[in-house]
Amino acid sequence: MNPHTALTRWSFSLVVGALLIAGCAAPNGESTGTDSTDAEAPSAKAQRIAAMKQVIDQHSFARPDEARITHLDWNARVDFGTRTISGTATYDITTAEDAERIIFDTHELTVQEVLVDGAPVDFPPLGESHPFLGRPLTVPLSPGAKQVAIRYTSSPDAGALLWVEAQGDKSPFLFTQSQAILARTWIPVQDSPGIRFSYNATVQVPEGLMALMSAENPTAVSDAGQYTFRMAQPIPAYLLALAVGEVEYRSVGDRCAVYAVPELIDEAAFEFAEMEDLLLAAEGLYGKYAWDRYDLLILPAAFPFGGMENPRLTFATPTIIAGDRSLVALVAHELAHSWSGNLVTNSTWDDFWLNEGFTVYFEQRIMEAVYGRETSEMLATLSYQGLVDEVDAISDLNPDDTHLKLHLAGRNPDDGMTAIAYDKGYFFLRLMEETVGRERFDTWLSSYFKEHAFGGMDTERFVEYLDRTLLVDAGDKAAVRLDEWIYGPGLPDNCPNVSSPRIERVDATLADWEAGKTATADLPWNDWIYQERYRFLSNIADDTPAERMADLDKAWSIGTTGNNEVLFAWMEQAIRSGYSPTYPRLEQFLIEVGRRKFLTPLYRAMKETGKMDMALDIYGKARPGYHSVATGTMDELLDWK
């Protein structure tokens, strides 16, 4: 459904006009960068040009062309007893001259009171509820209105929030996950990535707990449980974040620190001691860091993602603590978002690849700068495999989802979170690097970030920019074939080659082992680093018998590894091979860990190998501890009622 179709009072031309005035499009009607149009009907091109002129976010009820927020003052109380957040969100707004209303996104919020410029107003009931978009809150405005305050309470089932209960001597914990469209479940807001605002906050939490946000943060617990925050740079709503728990602060550099629960703070400080090196490398590549500090918060294992790039404070899963710093690429990734995503932001979720593809590219470059080309090429090889598998997996069902530019109208933007945006996006940028040369590409990318800092970017404007600034040479342009990459299915055949001799040796070793060699004598497991181990385990043939898994386990006790990526790959194959000695560890893992990237393949492996009873038994125990983002996916996979 298009939420905007419900709004008839506001003319379409107003939208176009406002965006043109704001300089959001460059509709010169000539080159839009879609010049390999030979293969494409003119009407498709015309449609695309038209799309440039009206970048409407289908996943928000807000009408920023009429009235938009510019600053938030948030005053809130976090109540673990009722599992609610209640408070007042006061927004500074700017309006079009004739604006008569401002629209906010809400989802499962109860709105108690609305004030405009300090005076209570009658506001119409919230609009009809949509399953994932929620309900619009329309506030009537009189001419010249400057400020809107909304007093509200969140629901105990708010999709963004995970309330982790106190257990034994462990304190309770609360964290938010706002991306993509869940901010509206804990604060009424214009929840569109194209709308930015700065914020200040005052938050009351239970005594003894620390509160942290995507903002300037405290470094110690406040006795009274009251915290104030300031985010001076404008950010979109999906980067609003809050965490409350018994966490400690440990500095690991001039601009970097880790926050974690007391049990993990030492391990975390060791694991991420190199954060500042990553930050320096990133700045060396693409320009000054714009957010002052870069800290990392280790969340409870129920966190549904690996990491989330909340500005100034990346949220991360504890499953990246391996004891040997082998999984820091994830930190490089979230750090890279400080440029690609947080500074230059996808205008809509259809343009998600502009966030993630750029970030994977930037992540690889940071990894190369800090750990060398051999390591980064191994990561690129794994990324290539992930991409080929994903293209395979979704080509038949939803071929359009293999385009970089997505069409998510009417769907949950979560559907766009596939390896396409990440890895096809990465290889597309790498292709451009290899086509124009690294030096030119780097200079170009630095200016891209600088010129569009604190702004939005959509695919069509990006193509136009690319044409004008990077692919100016006809030969380069022809070599890249960007229409195929951006608007076409699958993986174009000019995809760059990655090669990693070490990964190739692993593949050869796997072939030998599958042909009957034994693990103890013939496998250099102990000499392998994580990427090699992961490659080996994730490429074992599905139908490998349990005895062969026993051979591996006996030789190297793989089921007890401290590296969760390796453990995950091991467990997935154990399920497929029916190697039952691993099942207790599997159950424990699934109850403890809520990271969707691990859950989906593990439950799916059980489902596909006739172990539905086992899957449902474990899921029944684990589900209460998972975040809504994970249960949403698993409920569907397992047909859970």
Please state the length of the chain.
641
Q: Let me know if 263 is a catalytic residue.
A: no
For the CB of residue 412, give the shortest distance to ligand BES in the complex, in Å. 10
Q: Which does 101 bind (CB under 5 to 8 A by kind): Zn ion, ligand BES, none?
A: none
User: How is the beta sheet containing 313-316 ordered, strand by strand?
Assistant: 248-251, 256-260, 294-298, 313-316, 307-308
Cα–Cα distance, 216 to 202 (Å, whole number): 12
Identify the DSSP state of 628: H
Using CB under 6 A, pick the residue from 57, 105, 334, 464 that binds ligand BES.
334
270-309 residues in contact with ligand BES (CB under 6 A) are 305-309
Cα–Cα distance, 423 to 357 (Å, whole number): 6
Nearer to ligand BES, 6 or 393 (CB): 393
Cα–Cα distance, 361 to 364 (Å, whole number): 5
The one-letter amino acid at 582: T
Cα–Cα distance, 639 to 641 (Å, whole number): 6
Q: Which residues bind Zn ion (CB under 5 A)?
A: 356, 359
**Is residue 449 involved in binding ligand BES (CB under 6 A)?**
no
Chain-centroid distance of CA 376 in Å reads 21
Q: Which does 305 bind (CB under 5 to 8 A by kind): ligand BES, Zn ion, none?
A: ligand BES
Nearer to Zn ion, 350 or 356 (CB): 356
The one-letter amino acid at 136: P
Nearer to ligand BES, 303 or 536 (CB): 303
Q: What is residue 253's three-state secondary structure?
A: coil
Binding mask 568-607 for ligand BES (x = CB under 6 A): -----------------------------x----------
List Cα–Cα distances, 483 to 404, 416, 426, 436, in angstroms. Answer: 10, 19, 16, 17
Q: What is residue 53's three-state secondary structure?
A: helix
For the CB of residue 508, give the shortest distance to Zn ion in the complex, in Å. 33
Using CB under 6 A, pick the residue from 111, 180, 549, 590 that binds ligand BES.
180
Contact 497, 508 (CB under 8 A): no
Out of 199, 286, 422, 426, which one is annotated catalytic?
422
Q: Let me know if 619 is a catalytic residue.
A: no
Cα–Cα distance, 629 to 160 (Å, whole number): 8
Out of 66, 248, 309, 334, which one is annotated catalytic?
334
Beta strand 242-245 pairing with 173-176: antiparallel
For the CB of residue 307, give the shortest distance to ligand BES in the complex, in Å. 5
Contact 79, 46 (CB under 8 A): no
For the CB of residue 334, give the shortest distance to Zn ion in the complex, in Å. 7
Q: Which does 15 bind (CB under 5 to 8 A by kind): Zn ion, ligand BES, none?
A: none
Q: Which does 365 bind (CB under 5 to 8 A by kind): Zn ion, ligand BES, none?
A: none
Q: Which does 307 bind (CB under 5 to 8 A by kind): ligand BES, Zn ion, none?
A: ligand BES
Using CB under 6 A, pick the residue from 171, 179, 204, 418 that binds ligand BES.
179
Cα–Cα distance, 278 to 367 (Å, whole number): 8
Using CB under 6 A, pick the residue from 160, 330, 549, 558 that binds ligand BES.
330
Nearer to Zn ion, 356 or 484 (CB): 356
Q: Which stretch binds ligand BES (CB under 6 A): 93-101, 200-208, 331-339, 513-521?
A: 331-339
**Structure tokens, 421:** 């945006």
Q: What angle do CA 127, 130, 134 make, to 5 degrees?
A: 70
The one-letter amino acid at 93: I
**Is residue 486 involved in binding ligand BES (CB under 6 A)?**
no
Nearer to ligand BES, 258 or 599 (CB): 599
Beta strand 307-308 pairing with 313-316: antiparallel
Contact 421, 180 (CB under 8 A): no
What are 174's strand-pairing partners? 163, 244
Using CB under 6 A, pick the residue from 241, 417, 457, 615 that binds ligand BES.
417
Nearer to ligand BES, 114 or 378 (CB): 378
Output phi, psi for 107, to 5 deg: -150, 115
Binding mask 19-58 for ligand BES (x = CB under 6 A): ----------------------------------------
Q: Which residues bind ligand BES (CB under 6 A)?
A: 179-180, 305-309, 330, 333-334, 337, 356, 417, 422, 597
Active-site residues: which are they? 334, 422
